[in-house]
């Protein structure tokens, strides 16, 4: 009889062949599927895939406007949709200007820009000096004055401002003459 340290394993020739035990990955789906659904629901809830066309129309006023102007004040100041000579409107997505746009001189359309984030901004470049420029939400009735744009130069010909938290994609850039 051999000693315990001399033992060898011998398969039984009459026994059925043994299957090698594989590492089963089926249980991984129990982890991957809920995590994937969770990430998808967060992305969907935050509208990460939402792209829209933005429209900005220029309005020229006949009279100056106050800092706290409302839409009725703008109507009283004779603000009408008009082509302002030498005006250029740029929509910014995270600081970079949108490359594609269509314009007829009074309305600028910027197709397929992300509308789920608050990184959108607007630049209005004028040929002549202006007193104030406002961003107006055109999707409400009556249009709501969203915010005043800040002049970026001493001559008051370049105005810039972010849209901030707003759900609209239709805006007016209302340009009032200096006082």
Residue at 2 is within a domain: no
Range of the domain at 107: 51-176
Report the pLDDT value the prediction gives residue 34, as an integer from 0 to 100: 87
Residue at 44 is within a domain: no
Q: Token pair 């809920």 is at which residue?
A: 34
Residue at 158 is within a domain: yes
Residue at 45 is within a domain: no
Total domains present in the chain = 1
For the beta carbon of residue 70, count every other beta carbon within 10 angstroms.
15
Report the pLDDT value the prediction gives residue 137, as an integer from 0 to 100: 94
Report the pLDDT value the prediction gives residue 1, as an integer from 0 to 100: 54
Task: Please check whether residue 163 is in contact with residue 136, taking contact to mean a CB–CB distance below 8 angstroms.
Answer: no
Report the pLDDT value the prediction gives residue 119, as an integer from 0 to 100: 80
Residue at 3 is within a domain: no
Mean pLDDT per 10-residue segment, the chain (179 residues): 60 66 71 86 72 92 94 95 93 87 93 79 93 94 92 91 85 93
């Amino acid at each position: 009889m051999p000693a315990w340290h001399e033992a060898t394993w011998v398969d039984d020739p009459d026994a059925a062949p043994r299957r090698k035990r594989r590492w089963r990955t089926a249980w991984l789906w129990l982890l991957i599927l809920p995590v994937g659904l969770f990430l998808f629901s967060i992305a969907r809830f935050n509208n990460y895939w939402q792209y829209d066309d933005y429209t900005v129309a220029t309005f020229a006023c006949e009279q100056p406007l106050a800092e706290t102007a409302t839409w009725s004040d703008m109507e009283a100041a004779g603000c009408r949709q008009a082509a302002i000579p030498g005006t250029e409107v740029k929509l910014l997505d995270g600081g970079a200007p949108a490359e594609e746009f269509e314009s007829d001189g009074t309305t600028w359309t910027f197709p397929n820009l992300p509308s789920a984030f608050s990184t959108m901004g607007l630049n209005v470049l004028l040929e002549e000096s202006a007193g104030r420029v406002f961003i107006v939400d055109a999707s409400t009735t009556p249009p709501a004055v969203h915010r005043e744009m800040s002049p970026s130069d001493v001559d008051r010909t370049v105005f810039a401002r972010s849209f901030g938290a707003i759900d609209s994609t239709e805006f007016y850039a209302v340009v009032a003459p200096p006082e």
